């Protein structure tokens, strides 16, 4: 069973109307996905901001066009959540279909097989509304002590972390059942549509 030795770092950024930027970083590896840093800076602190976000995969809240224009020189790679959800949903659907085919090939012997369990991926999500979605799942979006300016950024980062963890759990479920993806199934820490934006170590 193979697993690519990947590590990825993602930042969620939000540019505010008072010329400040809030940033939350997420570190992703084969063993964990953790929130790894938080900043609230003036856009004038260009060097510090550049040091934080350079080489990272970026998710921009609010006006993504503004974010791309602001950090044009950094040549950042911006991520699209829609493509993540689409790949995750398709992978779960395909795995369930493979399970049904495998079971039907010898229904008598396989009728008591345990059905694989995958996350019920939503078709769309707006990261600007992360707090509402997390609340609907009974999960904390941000603590009361979180500064107001950081709450939206933190909520989005927590939702991205949650989705990545669900992807990794689905991957483990697929790999644990050889008939789903084949004996040479390979776990990825992120959907390939995001992973392809990242250069492996």
Q: What is the per-residue DSSP string for 116-180?
A: P------S---GGGHHHHHHHTT--SS-TTS-HHHHHHHHHHHHHHHHHHHHHHHHHHHHHSHHH
Share of the chain above pLDDT 70, in %: 91
Q: Is residue 72 part of a domain?
A: yes
For residue range 35-67, what is the model confidence (pLDDT) as tens digits? 999 999 999 999 999 999 998 999 999 999 999
Q: Is residue 169 part of a domain?
A: yes
Full residue range of the structural domain in which residue 167 is found: 2-195
Q: Is residue 151 part of a domain?
A: yes
Give the whole-angstrom CA distance, residue 144 versus residue 134.
Answer: 15
| 182 pLDDT higher than 70 | no
* Domain count along the chain: 1
* More confident position, 115 or 86: 86
pTM: 0.89
Task: Residue 160: name the closest of 55, 61, 41 by CA.
Answer: 61
Angle among Cα 117, 100, 95 to the nearest 5 degrees reads: 50
User: Residue 199: its pLDDT value, please?
Assistant: 58
Q: Is residue 168 part of a domain?
A: yes
Q: Is residue 201 part of a domain?
A: no
Q: Is residue 165 part of a domain?
A: yes
Q: Output phi, psi for 25, to 5 deg.
A: -105, 145
Instruction: Quickly tell me which residue has 């995958």 as its tokens.
Output: 118
Q: Which two structure tokens, joined as six digits, stand for 11?
A: 């930042």
* More confident position, 96 or 10: 10
> If you ran DSSP here, which 8-state letter would residue 113 be given?
P
């Amino acid at each position: 069973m193979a697993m690519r030795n990947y590590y990825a770092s993602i930042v969620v950024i939000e540019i505010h109307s008072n010329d400040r930027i809030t940033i939350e970083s997420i570190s992703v590896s084969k063993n964990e996905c953790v929130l790894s840093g938080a900043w609230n800076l003036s856009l004038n602190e260009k060097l510090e901001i550049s040091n934080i976000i350079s080489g990272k995969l970026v998710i921009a809240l609010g006006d993504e066009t503004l974010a791309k224009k602001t950090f044009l020189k950094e040549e950042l790679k911006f991520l699209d959540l829609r493509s993540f959800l689409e790949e995750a949903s398709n992978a779960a659907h395909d795995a369930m279909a493979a399970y049904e085919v495998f079971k039907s090939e010898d229904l008598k012997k396989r009728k008591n097989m345990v059905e694989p369990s995958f996350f019920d991926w939503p078709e769309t999500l707006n990261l600007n509304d992360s707090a509402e979605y997390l609340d609907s799942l009974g999960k904390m979006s941000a603590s009361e002590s979180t500064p107001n300016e950081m709450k939206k950024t933190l909520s989005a980062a927590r939702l991205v972390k949650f989705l990545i963890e669900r992807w990794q759990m689905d991957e483990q479920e697929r790999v644990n059942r050889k008939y789903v993806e084949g004996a040479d199934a390979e776990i990825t820490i992120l959907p390939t549509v995001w992973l392809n934006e990242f250069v492996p170590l």
